[in-house]
Structure 1
Amino acid sequence: MAGAPDSVRTAVLPIAGLGTRFLPATKAVPKEMLPVAGRPLVQYAVQEALDSGIERVVLVAAPGRDLALQHFARDRELEAALAARGRSRAQAEVRMLPTLGERLTAVEQAEPLGLGHAVGCATQAFGPGPYAVILPDDLVLGNVPCLRQLLDVHDQLGGTVLAVTSLPREELRKFGVVAPGVDDGTVVEVHGLVEKPAPGMEPSQLAVVGRYVLAPEVCAALPTLVPGAGGELQLTDAIAATIGATPVHAVRFEGRRFDCGNPAGMVAAGVAVTLADPSLSEVVATSVRALLSGMDGEQA
């Protein structure tokens, strides 16, 4: 009789991307440090990992990119300045950061060779897994952390678990797409994966988005990867290589996903976060309504 699945204690956050869609801002500021309603993307990802029960978070960063680690470091001078000015809410936010930072470590990705390579940099440093992976570009807002939902399925079924969402066919060429098997409406057996399929070759409309739980077998396959779609080492190729040998499932997660890898998604995420903040929601809602009303007037 098979034992219970190994607990997932480590999450990998790849943050080595160039952020070209946000230039010129990302010329000096790494994409993972761009703010959504005052907090950088990487902070949302770290918080989700820890809220999901993860014990260690590994940042996979480009050489010289240490701003994310600096963000979570203690800054006593700033704390004192905020206290002197009576900025208690900001002071509390800043004082909380080092408690997140205690769980962080970093490894270097010398070259941007793809997501499979980025995850491989972490597994080479910390062993065979299992691992969780969070892509900070994909911000998911909901009552239960997206990663926690995947971990719950992993605890029941073991193997590899992927977050998926249904997308229009014209958007699927940018994603890994699942070839589904048995589907109970939430959890889907994965019989195959196609990375960035050509139009008309999509096996379904279920796209893999930003959250993974990887079985040790996937981690073992990473060093054998050859360049795939886009000339990069694709994580989906490593996952696909294990299908049949280890269980692979996809989860239609609860929550709203924002693609913060592009400016429109970043703006939408900022609006959603501020509307959920009682101290900001009224003024933001009023501003958004005024903007939309003005647009309607211009189009009339």
Structure 2
Amino acid sequence: MSALTKIVIPVAGLGTRVLPASKSIPKEMLTVVDKPVIQHVVEEAIKAGFKEIILVTRNGKASIEDHFDKHYELEAELARKGKETLLKAVRDILPADVSICALRQNQPLGLGHAVLCAAPVVGNDDFAVMLPDMLIHSSIAGQSDLTDMVADYHKSGAAQIMVEAVPMQHVERYGVVDCAGKPLSPGQSQPIVGMVEKPPQAQAPSNQAIVGRYILPARVMELLKDTKPGAGGEIQLTDALDQLISEAPVNAYSMRGKTYDCGNKLGYLQANVVFGMHHEETAEEFKAFLNSL
């Protein structure tokens, strides 16, 4: 088991589910309350102890990299006007001990291909993958599912896939894990024996849906190199993980929080409502506004 410091975040998607907003603005730069979605995701990664953020991007997404860069003119103007709170918010987007780099995915060949693009930086280290569309909100102050999943990785030595219990009538929308019928309560892990992509309800092995957080051994990069195009003619991460399960232990970690898919309009609106109700600057008046509707 290698040190776990690197996390891959694929941001090369076109964002077709939130058009026309994503026509000129990367979907990852759409704001939830006062921060772009990508900043919420990166902050989650940093809280879980990751120090090396690897963005897999494409042309037209430079604003994502710019957001995490210094903006000297803005900082100087805020300092001149004495707006210390705003200045701190702008300066402290990335802690000093955290680095961020960007690699290009020059063809839209699927999530597995996007992860493989990060292989030169990941090297021989175990790593994590986060999908930037999915935001997680916890009702428990200070609790982080990704942090807890990292702890399970260190304790068990097994790869981890985060899952969320969904209604059985909705399983056909998701990739679903098979834990051999073992119960999986929030905050717990169970070994995975298989995965099924968007199964009919009658054939679903469980109601535990994959939600876009993974902790993986370096071996996955080798498996991805040999993974043939699958569904949609794309290289699927799920196909490589199916192979991994036959070689090494892989656990499903059942999250405590709730996911909001900001890659579609409804999930994006829901995220703004939930995060707005818990933001220190907006919570009180926003709750009053919602109650008035």
Q: How much identity, in percent, do the aligned residues show?
A: 36
Instruction: Summarize the Cα distance change of 1:184–1:99 in structure 2 as closer, same or farther, 3 Å threshold.
Output: closer
Q: Aligned equivalents of 2:217 and 2:98: distance in 1?
A: 26
Give the drift of 1:97.
2.3
Give the drift of 1:58.
0.1
Spell out, residue by residue over 1:225-259, the C-alpha distance to the aligned partner (whole angstroms, 9 max, x if none). 12222332111111110113111001112222111
**Per the alignment, in what secondary structure is the counterpart of residue 92 of structure 2?**
helix
Conservation of the 8 A alpha-carbon contact between 1:18 and 1:26? yes
Q: Which amino acid aligns with 2:129?
A: V
1:105 aligns with 2:101: yes
Structure 1 unaligned regions, length at least 5:
292-300
Q: Pairwise CA RMSD of aligned residues?
A: 1.8
Question: TM-score, structure 2 length as denominator?
Answer: 0.92
The residue aligned with 2:145 is: 146
Q: Which amino acid aligns with 2:250?
A: V
Alignment equivalent of 1:83, drawn from 67, 71, 79: 79
Conservation of the 8 A alpha-carbon contact between 1:69 and 1:101? no
Give the drift of 1:202.
1.8
Q: Aligned equivalents of 1:158 and 1:244: distance in 2?
A: 16
**Per the alignment, in what secondary structure is the counterpart of residue 93 of structure 2?**
helix
Q: Aligned equivalents of 1:88 and 1:273: distance in 2?
A: 24
The residue aligned with 1:118 is: 114
The residue aligned with 1:66 is: 62
The residue aligned with 2:267 is: 265
Spell out, residue by residue over 1:31-68, the C-alpha distance to the aligned partner (whole angstroms, 9 max, x if none). 11111011011111111111111120100001342211
Q: Aligned equivalents of 1:200 and 1:138: distance in 2?
A: 27
Alignment equivalent of 2:227, drawn from 201, 225, 230: 225
1:49 aligns with 2:45: yes
Q: Aligned equivalents of 1:100 and 1:43: distance in 2?
A: 16
1:285 aligns with 2:281: no
Q: Aligned equivalents of 2:145 and 2:133: distance in 1?
A: 14
**Per the alignment, in what secondary structure is the counterpart of residue 210 of structure 2?**
strand
**Per the alignment, in what secondary structure is the counterpart of residue 116 of structure 1?**
helix
Q: Aligned equivalents of 2:39 and 2:110: distance in 1?
A: 22
The residue aligned with 1:129 is: 125
Alignment equivalent of 1:24, drawn from 20, 25, 36: 20
The residue aligned with 2:165 is: 166
Conservation of the 8 A alpha-carbon contact between 1:46 and 1:100? no
Spell out, residue by residue over 1:3-55, the C-alpha distance to the aligned partner (whole angstroms, 9 max, x if none). xx322110000101111111111110001111101101111111111111112
Q: Which moved more, 1:140-149 or 1:94-103?
A: 94-103
Instruction: Summarize the Cα distance change of 1:100–1:262 in structure 2 as closer, same or farther, 3 Å threshold.
Output: farther
1:11 aligns with 2:7: yes
**Per the alignment, in what secondary structure is the counterpart of residue 200 of structure 1?**
helix
Conservation of the 8 A alpha-carbon contact between 1:7 and 1:155? no
**Per the alignment, in what secondary structure is the counterpart of residue 285 of structure 1?**
helix
Give the drift of 1:282.
1.4
Conservation of the 8 A alpha-carbon contact between 2:153 and 2:160? yes
Q: Which amino acid aligns with 1:20?
A: T
Conservation of the 8 A alpha-carbon contact between 2:162 and 2:254? yes
The residue aligned with 1:295 is: none
Instruction: Summarize the Cα distance change of 1:153–1:98 in structure 2 as closer, same or farther, 3 Å threshold.
Output: closer
Q: Aligned equivalents of 2:178 and 2:237: distance in 1?
A: 16
Aligned length: 287
The equivalences for 1:167-182 within 5 A come to 167-181=166-180, 182=182
1:196 aligns with 2:198: yes
Instruction: Summarize the Cα distance change of 1:98–1:215 in structure 2 as closer, same or farther, 3 Å threshold.
Output: closer
